[in-house]
Amino acid sequence: EVQLVESGGDLVQPGGSLRLSCAASGFSFSLYWMMWVRQAPGRGLEWLANINEDGTKTNYVDSVKGRFTISRDNAKNSLYLQMNSLGAEDTAVYYCAGGHKVDSWGQGTLVPVSS
């Protein structure tokens, strides 16, 4: 069964940092681009970043460039999102997605940013 499972979501104070993880199983993780997407409460989906198969190419939306870093460990079938300098506007459910033509989505992990 193809599965993506995010973890690491937690309450964080403004200005703080957090690292999200996404564990992949049931497909050849190392063969596919992967991405992170978020959804603020009551809002639409926002594409954040993606990374190529071997981790050598990354792209970011302007709103997180310089603050967030996407990475992967193919030996561990895992995707990561390091988030720094978090603000209230970063409060959202964070999803990892990817696989063959984005056929897989995780269930999401909630990151509330509040003092």
- CB-wise, 13 or 47, nearer to other proteins? 47
Report in angstroms how near the CB of residue 86 gets to other proteins at its nearest.
21
Find out whether 82 and 68 touch, Cβ atoms under 8 Å: yes
CB of 101 to other proteins, least distance (A): 4
Which member of 9, 23, 40, 59 binds other proteins (CB under 8 A)? 59
CA 53, 69, 48: angle at the middle one, nearest 5?
80
Give SS3 for 100.
coil
Residue closer to other proteins, measured from CB, 4 or 18? 4
User: Interface with other proteins includes 46 (CB under 8 A)?
Assistant: yes
Task: Say whether residue 1 binds other proteins (CB under 8 A).
Answer: no
| Two tokens, residue 40 | 């603020």
Q: Are 102 and 1 in contact (CB under 8 A)?
A: no
DSSP 3-state of 31: helix
Kindly list the residues in this chain that would bind other proteins in the complex (CB under 8 A): 35, 37, 44-47, 50, 59-62, 95, 97, 101-103, 105-108
